[in-house]
């Protein structure tokens, strides 16, 4: 996670839809004639006019599969809502028209630092509405406001990455917007608790304060990306009697801190230093209040990360348990969730969203998902989406179809319903993009109507390179390939690789890479998995076995993927001891792979033409980056 990237504040006027020339891409590029374009866009303008005339309150509401007909701005640096709000920004004493507040809350004495006198710093922007009109609040909470280490300005300045966008486009519809500094950052006191109890209590206090203001209608939303996409989960854990928090929009956020940096017991390179090494300097500025950073969790943070790498997840205390949010959200939260995730986000991995979305649905929480083939990004930024995508299975094949210029209109409709009770309920579904660019709707993800396709290593997939020995230095390992596919293959969800192995010592690690290769051996990344063999049975419990003489079955699970593999291509599976940005195992060992019926690759495939799913085309990107990509 890192400081956010800027959004340009200037709102670009929509260009004439009738004069645009563009290609609609769905699997392949289909050129539309200018005649069809004129008729389609002319019809859409009539549709918009009629929709506004018929119901000025609910505004423009159109199903996602018809949005490409509407006159979205598709050449700018970001998405623009179709509707313009009637209200102006309420002037204040500063040049940014914001007002700063401190929110007091009680910190448990055992938190140390500033306890019991917690203070949360926040700034608010309000629309200039009649005195008797109360407005809902959309807030972003995070560590980046007014921090010199990430070169962000005062919290009274709307964030260039998201805040300015909401002040410009959503506030005029009758919404307040707020920015909140988590504990130990900006002007908030106490220590930088890295999503711990103090931070959680501060976020809950800020939500309660925003819901209780005389100008507020008592409905609050939290939205943000990365760290700021994790704080909504924290606030949703409380589910207290006030119920001010009506909806959250986590964008590549965390359902738990350990879950960010460990997968099947394997550790990312940043994991041992995440607390103090990455965020430890926040709130330390050389003044007399720096002593407040001496909190118990701040002190043990580095040691907890190192011990988790060396010996297991929770060696002592409840550091990781305190920082796991999802179970408490499911137990307590009464609001809705709009979950947004990049399927190629290796900063905050897609297992934060998949299968989290299904757990929310099963718990009766009203939930929607937007899962595109982008990296650590917002859905509507063509430059960033292009810069962070690359051909070879790293998002590039899905650009520019991944750009969602309809996202801000989507946000407006979502907040209208859940914060103001306006309009029909937005669709409760998942919009998922495949790696080759196509978008479709699923009602669960992973979907339930899949068929398992199983490849046995050694027979269904043939060893084409390397021995069946995996050395701990990641220099070698086996490679298997399938026969050329007889038909196109559609894979969704989290494939599994169960591998029977023996080890030279009590430990070892496996990294699996799954690729799509054509008849010229040009391969693209489909997905990967990693496992510390101490966790070979899955879960968080360390397993034991007798090295050399006793085999174990490593039940690996890939990160979520949604991919299309063409007829005639082959699937290639490679094993090494580590890959991506994962560390070598702390318990290094030579690993010997056993081929046969106990070693299988299991894929969940689906029928593209099923009545259970619907493909659609978003508004087509006409930004210069998109035109270059399709030229």
Per-residue pLDDT tens digits for 77-101: 999 999 999 999 999 999 999 999 9
What are the tokens at 542?
Answer: 């360390």
Residue 507 pLDDT more than 90?
Answer: yes
Q: Looking at per-residue confidence, does 89 or 315 come out higher?
A: 89
Average pLDDT for residues 223-244, to the nearest whole number? 95
Q: Can you tell me the mean pLDDT for 504-520?
A: 96
> Higher pLDDT residue, 32 or 177?
177
What's the average model confidence in pLDDT over 382-404?
97
Min mean pLDDT across 13-22, 155-164, 291-300, 618-627 is at 13-22
pLDDT of residue 48: 42
Average pLDDT over residues 24-30: 32
Residue bearing the bigger pLDDT, 377 or 14 = 377
Question: What integer pLDDT is reported at residue 147 of this predicted model?
Answer: 84
User: pLDDT tens digit string along 112-129?
Assistant: 999 999 999 999 999 999
The reported pLDDT for the residue numbered 445 is 98
Does residue 37 carry a pLDDT above 60?
Answer: no
- If you average pLDDT over residues 165-194, what whole number do you get? 95
Q: Are 515 and 495 in contact (CB under 8 A)?
A: no
**527 — pLDDT class (breaks 50, 70, 90):** very high
Q: Which fold has domain 85-324?
A: Rossmann fold (3.40.50)
Residues 6+ apart with CB under 8 A from 387: none
In this predicted model, which residue has the larger pLDDT, 308 or 591? 591
Between CA 65 and CA 154 the distance in angstroms is 41
Is the pLDDT reported for residue 144 higher than 90?
A: yes
Judged against a pLDDT cut of 70, whether residue 391 lies above it is answered with yes
Least confident piece of the model among 256-270, 342-356, 499-513: 256-270
Using CA atoms, how far apart are residues 250 and 234, in angstroms rounded to an integer? 11
414: pLDDT strictly greater than 50:
yes
Query: pLDDT value at position 572?
Result: 98
pLDDT of 288 higher than 70: no
Using a pLDDT cut of 70, give the percent of the chain over it.
85
H or E, element range at 371: strand 367-372
d(CA 623, CA 626): 5
Higher pLDDT, 614 or 55: 614
Are 78 and 6 within 8 A, CB to CB?
Answer: no
Task: Indicate the pLDDT class of residue 13, thresholds 50, 70 and 90.
Answer: very low
- Of residues 220 and 278, the one with the higher pLDDT is 220
CB distance 599 to 458 below 8 Å: yes
Mean pLDDT of the chain: 88
Residue 583 pLDDT greater than 50, yes or no:
yes
% of residues, the chain, pLDDT over 90: 74
Helices (H), 424-469: none
**For the purposes of burial, counting CB atoms within 10 Å of the CB of 331, is it exposed (0-12), middle (13-18) or buried (19 or more)?**
exposed
pLDDT of res. 327: 97
- Per-residue confidence band for 291, with pLDDT thresholds at 50, 70 and 90: low
Q: What is the pLDDT, as a whole number, of residue 281?
A: 63
Cα–Cα dist 303/305, whole Å = 5
Q: Exposure of 598 by Cβ count < 10 A (0-12 exposed, 13-18 middle, 19+ buried)?
A: middle
> For residue 224, what pLDDT is reported?
98
pLDDT for the residue 294: 66
Q: Work out the pLDDT band at 45, boundaries 50, 70, 90.
A: very low
Give the pLDDT of residue 210.
98
- What's the rounded mean pLDDT across residues 421-446? 97
Indicate whether 316 pLDDT > 60: no
pLDDT of residue 315: 56
How confident is residue 67, by pLDDT bands cut at 50, 70 and 90? very high
Q: Is the pLDDT of residue 33 over 70?
A: no
Average pLDDT over residues 608-616: 88
Domain ranges for the chain: 85-324, 451-605
- What is the CATH code of the structural domain delimited by 451-605? 2.60.120.260
pLDDT of 148 over the 80 cut: no
CA distance 380 to 360: 25
Answer yes or no: are the C-beta atoms of 495 and 556 closer than 8 Å: no
Question: What is the average pLDDT across 133-142?
Answer: 98
């Amino acid at each position: 996670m890192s400081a956010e990237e800027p959004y340009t504040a200037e709102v670009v006027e929509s260009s004439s839809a009738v004069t645009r020339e563009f290609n609609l891409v769905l699997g392949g590029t289909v050129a539309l004639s200018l005649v069809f374009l004129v008729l389609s866009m002319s019809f859409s303008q009539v549709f918009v006019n009629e929709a506004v005339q018929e119901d000025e309150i609910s505004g423009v509401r159109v199903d996602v599969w018809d949005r490409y007909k509407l006159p979205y701005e598709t050449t700018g640096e970001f998405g623009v809502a179709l509707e313009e709000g009637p209200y102006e920004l309420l002037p204040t004493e500063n040049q940014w028209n914001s007002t700063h507040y401190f929110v007091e809350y009680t910190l448990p004495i055992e938190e140390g630092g500033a306890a019991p006198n917690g203070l949360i710093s926040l700034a608010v922007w309000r629309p200039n509405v009649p005195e008797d009109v109360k407005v809902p609040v959309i807030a972003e909470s995070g560590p980046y406001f007014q921090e010199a280490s990430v070169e962000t300005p005062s919290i009274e300045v709307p964030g260039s990455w998201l805040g300015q966008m909401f002040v410009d486009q959503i506030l005029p519809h009758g919404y307040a917007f707020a920015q909140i500094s988590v504990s130990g950052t900006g002007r908030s006191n106490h220590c930088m608790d890295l999503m711990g109890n103090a931070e959680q209590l501060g976020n809950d206090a800020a939500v309660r304060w925003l819901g209780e203001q005389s100008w507020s209608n008592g409905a609050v939303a939290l939205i943000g990306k990365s760290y700021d996409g994790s704080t909504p989960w924290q606030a949703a854990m409380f589910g207290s009697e006030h119920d001010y928090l009506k909806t959250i929009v986590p964008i590549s956020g965390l359902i738990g801190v350990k879950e960010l940096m460990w997968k099947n017991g394997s550790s990312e390179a940043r994991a041992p230093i995440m607390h103090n090494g990455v965020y430890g300097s926040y709130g330390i500025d050389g003044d007399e209040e720096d002593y407040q950073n001496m909190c118990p969790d701040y002190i043990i943070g580095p040691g907890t990360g190192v011990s988790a790498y060396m010996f297991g997840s929770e060696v002592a205390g409840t550091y990781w348990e305190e920082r796991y949010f999802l179970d408490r959200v499911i137990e307590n939260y009464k609001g809705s969730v709009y979950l947004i995730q990049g399927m190629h986000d290796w900063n905050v991995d897609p297992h934060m969203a998949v299968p989290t979305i299904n757990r929310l649905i099963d718990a009766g929480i009203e939930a929607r998902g937007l899962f595109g083939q982008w990296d650590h990004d917002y859905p509507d930024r063509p430059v960033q989406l292009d810069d962070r995508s690359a051909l070879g299975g790293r998002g590039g094949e899905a650009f520019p179809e991944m750009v969602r210029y309809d996202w801000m209109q989507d946000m407006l409709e979502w907040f209208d319903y859940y914060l103001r009770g306006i309009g029909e309920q937005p669709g409760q579904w998942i919009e998922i993009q495949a790696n080759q660019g196509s978008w479709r709707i699923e009602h669960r993800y992973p979907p339930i109507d899949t068929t398992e396709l199983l490849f046995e290593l050694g027979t269904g997939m043939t060893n084409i390179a390397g021995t069946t020995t995996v050395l701990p230095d990641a220099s070698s390992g086996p490679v298997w390939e399938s026969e050329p596919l007889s038909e196109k293959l559609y894979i969704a969800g989290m494939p599994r690789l169960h591998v029977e192995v023996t080890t030279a010592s009590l430990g070892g690690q496996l990294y699996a890479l799954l690729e799509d290769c054509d008849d010229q051996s040009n391969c693209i990344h489909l997905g990967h998995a990693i496992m510390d063999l101490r966790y070979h049975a899955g879960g968080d419990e360390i397993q034991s076995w007798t090295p050399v003489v006793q085999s174990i079955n490593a039940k690996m699970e890939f990160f979520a993927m949604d991919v299309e593999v063409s007829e005639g291509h082959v699937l290639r599976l490679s094993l090494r001891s580590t890959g991506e940005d994962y560390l070598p195992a702390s318990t290094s060992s030579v690993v010997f792979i056993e081929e046969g019926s106990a070693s299988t690759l299991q894929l969940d495939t689906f029928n593209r033409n099923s009545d259970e799913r619907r493909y659609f085309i978003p508004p087509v990107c006409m930004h210069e980056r998109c035109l270059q990509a399709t030229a």
